[in-house]
């Protein structure tokens, strides 16, 4: 009896110790993220000077627009393809050698260095087509990098749902596709949006792949809205330097610019804030969609 009591007490002590260790590790990670974000934001605020949020040579407004526009274009490509691929893998693909091979390919693609994908984009989208550097080539390259995250997240999110969701829908004479669109996707929307957030974060922070595809030009004419003009902000086939590329440029080749360090610090702060705002907005939209479909508020 005493041995049993001692065993229970020892198990409780181990449980308490492991719980404390896990809380310590989790708290340390959160603290590290907070300190890193705070450091970047504070350093960026201290680097502010009049004119940095302008279209002048020492401003970053053009690069900021290019970043948002490129992420928008890349999500326009990667989200439909990634979600459809995830649906296929979860609902239509049979478990066989081909399916396992496809999963290996997706996992391999997600682990490829971005510089390799950038060189592939440069070879196929620039050299083989005879085109100049352009935002669309950069968006396609970033979408290739983003596809594995969206595909895998969508597949896992749908597979994690109870089978009763689909069975109940099809019992009411709904087709498989109707069940997927009306029942499974809304129920899995939170996890799918997580994959989209990861993909967007990749787009916001990507530099190596864009160096070979999007280019480093920032010449924009905000009074010219002819989509065929190379200086039109909305022309997707014009060169466009993003904020991440601009940071790299200021840190490596910006010695001739007296504001290079300030520009790099402020650009890094803007990137962090953009990613945070995008994540918060996506989460809010996800919760609203989920509450409309299920009637539950979170």
Report DSSP letters for 163-203, one per residue. Answer: HHHHHHHHHTT--HHHHIIIIIHHHTHHHHHHHHHHHHHHH
pTM: 0.85
pLDDT tens per residue across span 164-196: 888 888 888 888 888 888 888 888 888 888 888
For the chain, give every domain's residue range. 1-46, 51-294
Q: Which of 242, 250, 178 is nearest to 210 (CA)?
A: 242
pLDDT the model gives residue 199: 83
Which portions of the chain are predicted below pLDDT 50?
296
Contacts of 233 (CB under 8 A, 6+ apart): 65, 69, 220, 221, 222, 225
SS3 content of the chain, % helix, strand, coil (to 5): 75, 0, 25
Question: According to the model, what pLDDT value does residue 82 have?
Answer: 92
Contact 232, 191 (CB under 8 A): no
CA 211 → CA 62, 141, 215, 287, distances in Å? Answer: 17, 11, 6, 36
Assigned token pair, 294 = 């299920």
Residue 251 pLDDT: 81
For residues 202 and 102, the answer to whether their CB atoms sit within 8 Å is no
CATH class of the 51-294 domain in this structure: mainly alpha
- How many other CB atoms are there within 10 angstroms of residue 142's CB atom? 32
CA 261, CA 54: separation in Å to the nearest integer? Answer: 17
Task: Compute the distance between CA of residue 136 and CA of residue 70 in angstroms, rounded to an integer.
Answer: 8
Q: What are the residues whose beta carbons fall under 8 Å from the beta carbon of 148, sequence distance 6 or more?
A: 106, 107, 109, 110
Q: Are 55 and 119 within 8 A, CB to CB? A: no
How many angstroms separate the CA atoms of 63 and 183, rounded?
A: 40
In this prediction, residue 164 carries a pLDDT of 85
d(CA 213, CA 225): 23
Write down the pLDDT at residue 2.
Answer: 66
As a three-state string, the secondary structure of 69-110 is HHHHHHHHHHHHHHHHHHHHHHHHCCCCHHHHHHHHHHHHHH
C-alpha span between 60 and 218 (Å, rounded): 9
**40-to-93, 181, 262 alpha-carbon distances in Å:** 45, 41, 12
Q: Please state, in angstroms and rounded to a whole number, the distance separating the CA atoms of residues 62 and 183.
A: 42
Round to whole Å and give the CA distance between 174 and 162.
Answer: 17
């Amino acid at each position: 009896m005493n041995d049993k009591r001692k065993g229970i007490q020892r198990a409780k002590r181990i449980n308490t110790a492991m719980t404390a260790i896990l809380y310590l590790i989790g708290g340390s990670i959160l603290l590290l993220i907070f300190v890193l974000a705070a450091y970047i934001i504070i350093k960026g605020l201290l680097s502010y000077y009049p004119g940095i949020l302008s279209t002048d040579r020492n401003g970053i407004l053009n690069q900021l627009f290019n970043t948002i526009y490129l992420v928008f274009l890349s999500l326009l490509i990667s989200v439909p393809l990634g979600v459809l691929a995830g649906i296929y893998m979860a609902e239509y693909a049979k478990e066989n050698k081909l399916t396992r091979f496809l999963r290996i390919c997706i996992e391999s693609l997600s682990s490829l260095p971005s510089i390799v994908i950038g060189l592939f984009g440069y070879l196929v989208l620039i050299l083989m087509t005879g085109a100049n550097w352009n935002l669309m080539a950069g968006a396609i390259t970033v979408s290739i990098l983003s596809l594995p995250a969206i595909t895998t997240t969508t597949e896992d999110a749908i597979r994690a749902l109870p089978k009763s969701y689909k069975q109940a829908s099809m019992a009411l004479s709904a087709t498989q596709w109707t069940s997927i669109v009306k029942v499974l996707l809304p129920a899995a929307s939170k996890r799918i949006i997580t994959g989209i957030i990861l993909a967007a974060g990749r787009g916001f922070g990507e530099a190596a792949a864009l160096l070979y595809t999007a280019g480093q030009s920032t010449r924009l004419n905000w009074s010219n809205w002819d989509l065929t003009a190379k200086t039109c902000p909305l022309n997707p086939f014009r060169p466009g330097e993003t904020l991440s590329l601009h940071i790299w440029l200021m840190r490596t080749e910006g010695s001739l610019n007296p504001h290079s360090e300030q520009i790099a610090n402020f650009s890094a702060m803007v990137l962090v804030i953009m990613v945070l705002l995008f994540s918060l907005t996506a989460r809010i939209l996800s919760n609203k969609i989920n509450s409309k479909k299920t009637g539950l508020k979170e």
